[in-house]
Amino acid sequence: MAKLSPVSRGQPIALDCLACPTRWSAEWAVLPDEQMAEINANKTTRRYPRGVFIYSQGQPCTGVYCIASGTAAVRRAEPSLPAVLVRLAFAGETLGYRSALDETLRASDAKALEPCVICHVEVTLLHRMLRRHRAPLQRFQTHIAVDLDQTEADLAQVAWLPVRGRVARLIVGLVERARGVDTPTGQNGPCEVALPMTRRDMAELLCTRPETLTRALQALEDDGLLRNAGHRLAIPSLSRLRAETVPHVE
Amino acid sequence: MAKLSPVSRGQPIALDCLACPTRWSAEWAVLPDEQMAEINANKTTRRYPRGVFIYSQGQPCTGVYCIASGTAAVRRAEPSLPAVLVRLAFAGETLGYRSALDETLRASDAKALEPCVICHVEVTLLHRMLRRHRAPLQRFQTHIAVDLDQTEADLAQVAWLPVRGRVARLIVGLVERARGVDTPTGQNGPCEVALPMTRRDMAELLCTRPETLTRALQALEDDGLLRNAGHRLAIPSLSRLRAETVPHVE
DNA sequence: ATGCTTTCTTGACCTGCATCAAGGCGGCGC
DNA sequence: GCGCCGCCTTGATGCAGGTCAAGAAAGCAT
């Protein structure tokens, strides 16, 4: 079955940073092997079952987290407002570097949407690294800029796209990031994606409610844009789905 | 009258950077006078009437803009969606540094909400400065982080607060930033603010429509939380207004 | 003044989505 | 197996706010 096998609990984890997907992603790629080896020797690795918090808003920052496998989300909960999933983070991405860099309390929290394996690098170790090699720091900083750009786009989208459009956009986005990893087909043909999260999480991501989300998915399915099989979606035509990403024109 | 006097057109502008409000704000405070003098000699200053664009999304970046007086807004227009004002910028703030730093095309546009006087610093000059003094660069980078934080908060707010609450939050925010500049009263007593923008702009800022905004202001006035005089608001009790900032509890 | 333009307000209408409330379907422990 | 407990779906209802349209008010030019 397509469902990801749940990680078995309790068994010890040994991960080699030099062989990790994170190794060549974004910020660590510029670090020499020698440094990575030091991180490798001092990191700690944990499994996070679905739904568990990796860190929480308002807490002091103990370090950064590299996702070896699974999907997590950065979550923002303004006091007494429902939470919003501000952005997703996939295997290979580094999480929580912002408070680590400027040594502030966590401004958001992160939670595992699927069972994850995540390594933790102590903030002191991180800073020792960065003092010797400034390149990753710049990578982190441009990462913030990209996040800002993305968040601004999301803001516009939440403000003006109906839920149906946002759902479509999310799915198209997931397909696109899967491209080059495992998708066999061409640009706009049929394809498949996994939704690596529950309906509730997906609703938080799209700033809506689970009920509304279900209905939106249902509507897309009724219109033949989607074929639903739980957490695995079949998409007859990506381009037709992409058309939903844009507000009503006629 | 309290209304800002409109800048008279056409007359030449001479501004001394060393005496500018921008001088001691955020990023330039760390630059020695000698450097500021060089900027002063090479900057160009312009008036921007209300509504005029300072720069536009997709354009190449020619430099940064320091607001000497007036209010501007960073504006984001996703293709075929209504625009969103992503953040405000007041006198003393520096605008458009992001694309200037990483030399990309402008990701958003900026427009003058009121008549503004704004200085332009060429990107080449800026980089020459930054090569000699790294401190402002760090200031710029933490500024991005702050913006990200703010934008995330806005996202949550737009998603979950009703228009009425968002209006209240905007007004409270404007009052708070005016504090220490010209407000005589205490913490939560009555006070006044100017709304330095049109209803249309304000609506774009709050992700709604002018009609709805008018009605929300009207409702606040009916409830005695506001007394409206065009673009000057009187606030009987700031704390009562602040209570509107939080979603309905009972 | 007088007109012209842009901004603001008001009204009527209607739709998208939140909310409340059941009921189906797995997954998991016993 | 059986029962329990989350998740997901479906239905019914109400309201916030978007949209269209028409005036009123405020600027600005002549």
pLDDT tens digits for B5-59? 334 444 556 778 887 877 877 788 888 888 888 989 999 998 899 999 999 999 9
Q: Tell me, what's the pLDDT at A1?
A: 35
> What is the average per-residue pLDDT within B106-113?
94
pLDDT, greater one: A43 or B8: A43
Q: Tell me, what's the pLDDT at A186?
A: 56
CA of A163 to C1' of D13 (A): 20
Q: Tell me, what's the pLDDT at A181?
A: 55
Asked if residue B138 keeps its beta carbon closer than 7 A to nucleic acid strand C, the reply is: no
Mean of the per-residue pLDDT values for chain A? 86
Q: Tell me, what's the pLDDT at B106?
A: 95
Asked if residue B217 keeps its beta carbon closer than 7 A to nucleic acid strand C, the reply is: yes
Instruction: With beta carbons under 8 A apart, name residues in chain B contacting A151.
Output: 148, 151-152, 155
Q: Is the pLDDT of residue B182 over 80?
A: no
Range with lowest mean pLDDT among A58-62, B146-150, B181-185 = B181-185
CA of A227 to C1' of D12 (A): 27
> What is the average per-residue pLDDT within B188-210?
91
Percentage of chain B surpassing pLDDT 90?
57
pTM, 2 dp: 0.88
- Nucleotide nearest to A165 in CA–C1' terms: C16
Q: Is the pLDDT of residue B233 over 80?
A: yes
Q: Tell me, what's the pLDDT at A9?
A: 41
Q: Tell me, what's the pLDDT at A18?
A: 82
End-to-end CA distance of chain B: 42
User: Which residue spans within A34-152 are E strands per DSSP?
Assistant: 44-48, 53-55, 63-69, 72-76, 84-89, 94-95, 109-112, 116-122
Q: Tell me, what's the pLDDT at B59?
A: 94
pLDDT, greater one: A61 or B248: A61
What pLDDT, in 10s, does the model give residues A180-222? 655 555 567 788 888 989 999 999 999 999 999 999 999 999 9
- pLDDT-derived band at A13 (thresholds 50, 70, 90) equals low
Q: Is the pLDDT of residue B121 over 90?
A: yes
Asked if the C-beta of A125 comes within 8 angstroms of chain B's C-beta atoms, the answer is no
What pLDDT, in 10s, does the model give residues A56-81? 999 999 999 999 889 999 999 887 78
What residues have CB less than 8 Å from B23, skipping those under 6 apart?
B17, B29, B36
Mean of the per-residue pLDDT values for chain B? 86
Q: Tell me, what's the pLDDT at A191?
A: 86
- Asked if B201 and B210 touch (Cβ cutoff 8 Å), the reply is no
CB pairs below 8 Å between A and B: how many? 102
Percentage of chain A surpassing pLDDT 70?
90
- pLDDT-derived band at A250 (thresholds 50, 70, 90) equals very low
pLDDT, greater one: A64 or A32: A64
End-to-end CA distance of chain A: 42
| Full DSSP string of chain B | --SPPPPPSS------GGGSGGGGSGGGTTS-HHHHHHHHHH-EEEEE-TT-EEE-TTSPP-EEEEEEES-EEEEE--TTS--EEEEEE-TT-EESHHHHHHT---SSEEEESS-EEEEEEEHHHHHHHHHH--HHHHHHHHHHHHHHHHHHHHHHHHHHS-HHHHHHHHHHHHHHHHTTTT--S-SSS-EEEE--S-HHHHHHHTTS-HHHHHHHHHHHHHTTS-EEETTEEEES-HHHHHHTTS----
Report the sign of the C-alpha dihedral through residues B198, B204, B205, B206, in that order.
positive
